[in-house]
Structure 1
Amino acid sequence: MAISRPTIRDVARQAGVSHQTVSRVINGKNDVSPETRTLVETAISQMGYHPSAIARSMARGQTHTLACISPNLTDYTLASVIEGAETEARQHDYFMLSSSSVDSESFRRLVDELVGHRRVDGLIVINPYSDKRFEHIPEDFPVVFVGAQSHQKDISSVCLDDEKVAYDATSHLISLGHTNIALVTGPHEEDCSQDRTAGYRRALKEANIPFNNAKVIEGDWSASSGQNALLSFVKNGNVPTAVFAQNDRMAMGVLRAARDVNLKVPSQLAVIGVDDMPLSSYFDPPLTTMRQDMPLIGQEATRMLLDIIQKKNTDLREVKLPAQLVVRQSTSEQGGDL
């Protein structure tokens, strides 16, 4: 036989007050005397009463639900951000919804559903590639961006320090004696790709290595685009001694293309990426990369969003997190081998 859980009316009878008074105590209202508050809290403790989270949310005008909108839910790096965001939300008794949006129109529909109907208390938007998406978010609604900063609205953001990451990756190749360093970028319109290209160029400039646009090929973050990039360099007779791919997937494609054209890695071609995906250490050869803590980015985004919701800190903030160089067998001194 199931044991019935105590209700708010049971607590009221035990404390000798109305159920409205119990509700005010539960929701932290100030219009209750200290003596009455003590009576109610004692009754709650003795009876093991647990207030309904839904009822409390309704009373406070909050849902205790957040939403995370991402370009897709299957990409490892993006999924890791969401995992970190969900973990942090649970620690604060919030539920995190996850959804994907691939274009501005689907983003608008999602925002209308989640924000317009007040189904969530705040939004985390991952990699909002186009500023056109920003206009769909109400000015006063709590939101944090991950991976980009709005150029049109004052919105807080959390991201990797992409310029510094690319600078460090390129500097690693330069420290090994490489001067003929090719770059495989993400889509040029994305802030992340632009910042990583800027870091690459800064490292070259500081080493007095001329920037050559012919050594830069635009990819789309996929392995196939990295593969095609190196094959294009080879076809044009512009074979580098090192390649900085702006993510690990494109680096994986570069490694595949190197094998296809019989370029030995790392003795004839050094390769470095960004991310440190779980499979990166199993590439052939294992990939040197810049490790970014994606779950930490998600956690920081959730903490920032909750600060805004709870009005602990509503100041505009832009947090940039560092990455760590992980040296494996895909890089060595020019003409050398590991």
Structure 2
Amino acid sequence: MHSLDAAVLNRPARVAAVRRLAGRHMRARAAVESMLRAAAVLLDVPTVSVALVDDAHELVWVTSAPDQHREWTYPIERSLCAIVVAAGEEIAIADVRGDRDVADGVDLGEIVELRGVESYLGVPLVVDGDLCLGSVCAYGDGLHDWTDAQRLGLRHVTEAVAQLLAPIAEGRERDEKHLRGLERDMQRLLAEHGAVRRVATIAAHSREPHAVFQAVVGELSMLLDHAPVTLARLHPGDLVPIAASADVAEELQLRMCATWCDAAGPVAACSAVVGSGPDRVAGAPVAVGGNPWGVLLAAVPETPDANPVEPLEQFTELLAITVDNARQRRRLAAWAGTTA
């Protein structure tokens, strides 16, 4: 059970950053609202909001559905977002009214009655490494079991919001050119999440992992301006391609794997861009159950201000979930066969 830890909520630097944001920066709020409206559609939820939490109140700073909010400020005793801030971690509640193990000091029944919240998903909104300003939260329509894809999607949205708000919270203003660049970044992140959601839908309805693998490489190729993309499986001392985007020859897939292995090794600890010229490759390792499994690779040109690794990283967790689920199904089938 979580608690409303006063030491966390009353931290001076955190409270000062929240108050710098509250009620200001209409341009930033408008950009975030546009993103939240799109996020609500992609996550298939009625409302997605950004809530700021100081030492005493929650402020609904911006929301995808302003007409649905009864109030805009709540005491922390009626704030699920304050629980997220105090805990410093993502919190998912399928049934707010019925869950008695969420937090000490928060009246969940009153939250349901006064705020109309029945299910909740909140991700900490963290800037500058450790300043948690509040949370980006989604509200379900009635009781709601949050899916892996929804949780992953809300994390992506939170990352985009944090990127925009960090300099404001730290007291550094952005010029218009930089702000427009951040708005483009948010649109890019939304496009990436749309792709992740489409793949997650396939994963939810398919028992065949290869269908998910093909969907991932296809979506990534589109996000990266039709770049060649391949998913390679780790074998002892080597990588072997197992899926590729359309019209990518096997020779190119093998060359991408060789470029990655020469620079980073088959078992790499982190994402990177390696090689140069026509052999420039971006890669994101995939781990399943904490163990290396493979690498997602894309052949990418040298483009100023572009980070080709980020789109790849959006899919690694979904790939890991797909592989793990397939393994669990095989274990269950084997167990059923031995007990029949």
Same fold judged by TM-score > 0.5?
A: no
Indicate the structure whose relative CO is greater, using CA pairs within 8 Å and at least 6 residues apart: 1
Q: Who wins on radius of gyration, i.e. which is larger? A: 1
For normalisation by structure 2, the TM-score amounts to 0.29
More helix, by proportion:
2
For normalisation by structure 1, the TM-score amounts to 0.29
